[in-house]
Structure 1
Amino acid sequence: MERWPGGEVMRIAVISAHTSPLARPGGNKAGGLNVYVLELARQLVARGCNVDIFSRATQRDMPEITQIGPGLRAIHLRAGPARNLSPESVHKRLDAFTDAVAAFAAHEDATYDLIHSHYWLSGLVGEQLKARWQIPHVTMFHTLGEIKNRASLSEHETDLRIDSESRIIAGADRVICATEAERTLIRRLYHAEAGKVSVIPLGVDLERFRPADQEAARHALGLNGERIILFVGRLEPLKGIDILINAAATLESDVDCSVLIVGGDESSRVQVDRLRGIARSRGIEDRVAFVGAVDHDKLPLYYNAADICVVPSHYESFGLVAVEAMASGVPVVASRVGGLMGTIKDGETGYLIPWLCPEPFAERIELLLDNEPLRRNLGEAAREAVGRYRWENVAAAVLSVYESLTNPTPQLAAAGS
């Protein structure tokens, strides 16, 4: 367990204003960001830090403090109605949320050494708290509005978001991004200073996500003997699920297969209806199953049951689903966009598709369905390749950033001042 010189414990205020780290991934507002925030916090606590994660309360009966483990708390504070809100509506409540975080810290006589914010809404809170507490602010956006707008015509991120991201990048002490490609875009589109941007990938739990018996996984999930093409993620146009369904409809393989879509919640009904309509129009409605969001602890069963994982996104800043599938020994067919270009080595650990249309996806999916040795070889190579995303390495790199920004013998800022 690591400590600062003199035995001091570093105390981190993590801001995830728009979504709780305890939310189930795959829902409307929950995904890889939630997984990252919670697992990074656990890893930092294991290295001697204390971490409080602040989120806006979205349920009336949500406890204010949830003790996740020693030195790690999720804190849900009221700021506006206790329900999920659009980003624009959350933005209107950010001053109230910032005040609530400061009041909580003052009430507990808590002091923090550093703020780490996630997503643009949280970055705005981080900048306000930095000014109040006079401590460093590290931010990670996970996705950026300007990049999303350029990646897909269906995306229309607001000027409010993009202008806010620019202000956060200018004011923060350090910006962490997941890939060199994202770092290049942040510098080019947002004019970030070179020395302010650090590249640290997302992590994957290689004990949780690992190869396991496929038949046992299918039995546990109640699946039959068909080949399984898996999608995992939020149900939104940027994820390109329509490309996967249309690709499945064009398959000419004699192998029986089904598409399993893991993700979505009550707020995803419009997207589910749209995607079901596509499957119905292509005559494969009976071969496309919508599972809904599942607990992250249960997710390995779905990867282990799958033959192929498809990530047809218009953009991914990193692509955590691809890395989880690779760690599980499952070959991935993915769009050649964003961070996926760094995680997948085309033809060696999976396939990268340069065109966002069904036919080239279908070609690679069909190749894998018809060739079990190829699936096995790509899966084995993928598992070996993801060792560099081990959480221990990721947490050590993030902690190194924190330490570079804080005084080794800190005069702790009074959080309530």
Structure 2
Amino acid sequence: MAMKIAMVSPYDFAWPGGVNSHVVQLSAELRSRGHDIFVIAPHSPSKSPAVVDQHDRQFIPMGRSVPLSAGGSTARVTFDWWLYPKVRALMGREGFDIVHLHEPLAPLLPLMVLQHSRSVNVGTFHAYSDRRHLYRMCRRAVARWQKRLHGRIAVSPAARAFVSPHFPGYSYQVIPNGIDFERFASAEPLRDLKDGKINILFVGRKDERKGLRYLLQAFSTLRRTRDNTRLIIVGPGEPDRECATLLSVINAEYPDSVSVTGAVSDEDLPRYYASADVFCSPATGGESFGVVLVEAMAAGVPVVASDIDGYRDVVFHEGNGLLVGPRDPTAIVNAVARVLDNPDLSVRLTSAGRDAAARFRWEQVASRVEDYYQQCIEEAERSGAAR
């Protein structure tokens, strides 16, 4: 049955990020199945749209954003209270079958939508943090909006464990993030990067919690004995002061050994993975899932990652990747060296990684989301809780 679905993100769609990427890709897969999808999110007009065409009639911009720092990362959300009547009119006019809110308790847009929605409301909880004070501080304030959800999805066991203690009595369906498996599995390497050097790849924002400084420290050690090794850093943002200092020192001692590309296009990203000999994600915490790990495995790249919640739901140590202690450059050095020096290990991790990544195809993930929508609709109709 075709449904009219609103996808709501609290995060500015003019800025790249994991939640917005999830929304775009899930929306595309559901559209391919005949559903009518509308994306509702803040959008800063001063930025060129990073993930969606702002003139698409099925993208509904709602307010401008301001940066909000928390957990070693920066989110851009809207606090425009004047949106209240606009959201109320939209919810009254469109008659959505499903309103799917991503981070449904985040300020401010999802809360406005929940206030006025008369549809079946499904929330996806993406976040995870080692610091649980945020939900503790706002639990009473947002509890009434939590009650307006008819269904709750967590993208991983870690995300479920983060939210569920603060709102007991609710069940959460674990449905993971997805990837376009074939796009990564079939990618060709970039010609400029297949020049005989050994490529270590990092993909992600340069936020503190992504742990780039520890990879730079590890690479500095590796480079002393491996003069054909190159570090490739892909992702938006500028390095913090410590990372910038480390980069200056490395480039002075080993010129052209580190390539910092900034953000790359969706078309080029799989090719960077395909150009890598090992992928490293040294995040320090706050990761609910680890899409970059799945992308790397789909591309056939052995993975070295931090042994943290969220990542452990994707990578199994010595099975489809190697896990190392967070904030430990020496452990990164040893794990990367093991992969580079042991072809049999590299092949085994690559094969197991590809098999694991295949489970996260968007086709499979979207089917589970569709089934859950239908379950929520049927339960709401039986209880008379919607419409």
Task: Give the TM-score band, short-chain normalised.
Answer: 0.7 to 0.9
Question: Cα deviation per residue 1:114-137 (whole Å; 9 max; x = unaligned)?
Answer: 211123565753343334232222
Q: Secondary structure at the match of 2:179?
A: coil
Work out whether 1:32 is the aligned partner of 2:32.
Answer: no
Q: Secondary structure at the match of 2:292?
A: helix
| Counterpart among 11, 15, 23 of residue 8 in structure 2 | 15
How far apart, in 2, do the equivalents of 1:96 and 1:159 lie? 28
Letter in 2 for 1:51: I
How far apart, in 2, do the equivalents of 1:405 and 1:254 lie? 56
| Counterpart among 219, 223, 230 of residue 258 in structure 1 | 230
What pairs with 1:65-104 in structure 2 (closer than 5 Å)? 65-66=55-56, 73-77=58-62, 79-80=63-64, 84-87=65-68, 90-93=77-80, 95-104=81-90
- TM normalised by structure 1 equals 0.79
Equivalent position of 1:243 in the other structure: 214
Letter in 1 for 2:369: V
Letter in 2 for 1:15: V
Change (3 A) 1:58 1:223: farther
Equivalent position of 1:153 in the other structure: none
Identity %: 29
Change (3 A) 1:262 1:64: closer
Change (3 A) 1:253 1:38: same
Q: Secondary structure at the match of 1:38?
A: helix
Letter in 2 for 1:76: P
- TM normalised by structure 2 equals 0.85
Q: Secondary structure at the match of 2:184?
A: coil
How far apart, in 2, do the equivalents of 1:158 and 1:377 lie? 41
| Counterpart among 132, 145, 150 of residue 116 in structure 2 | 132
- State the shift of 1:349 in Å: 1.0
Change (3 A) 1:363 1:371: same
Letter in 1 for 2:27: A
Equivalent position of 1:70 in the other structure: none
Let me know the Cα RMSD of the aligned residues.
3.0
Work out whether 1:149 is the aligned partner of 2:142.
Answer: no
Q: Secondary structure at the match of 2:16?
A: coil
- State the shift of 1:198 in Å: 1.0
Equivalent position of 1:177 in the other structure: 154
How far apart, in 2, do the equivalents of 1:331 and 1:233 lie? 17
Gaps of 5+ in 1: 4-8, 24-28, 68-72, 151-155
Letter in 2 for 1:149: R
> In 1, are the aligned partners of 2:99 and 2:117 still within 8 Å (CA)?
no
Higher relative contact order (CA 8 A, sep 6+): 1
- State the shift of 1:292 in Å: 0.3
Q: Secondary structure at the match of 2:185?
A: coil
How far apart, in 2, do the equivalents of 1:244 and 1:120 lie? 34
Letter in 2 for 1:276: A
How far apart, in 2, do the equivalents of 1:65 and 1:96 lie? 22
Would you say how many aligned residue pairs link Structure 1 and Structure 2?
371
Letter in 2 for 1:263: G
Work out whether 1:324 is the aligned partner of 2:306.
Answer: no
Change (3 A) 1:163 1:299: farther
How far apart, in 1, do the equivalents of 2:338 and 2:243 lie? 25
Work out whether 1:363 is the aligned partner of 2:337.
Answer: no
> In 2, are the aligned partners of 1:276 and 1:285 still within 8 Å (CA)?
no
- State the shift of 1:397 in Å: 1.1
Letter in 2 for 1:139: G
- State the shift of 1:224 in Å: 2.9
How far apart, in 1, do the equivalents of 2:113 and 2:37 lie? 16
Q: Secondary structure at the match of 1:208?
A: helix
Gaps of 5+ in 2: 70-75
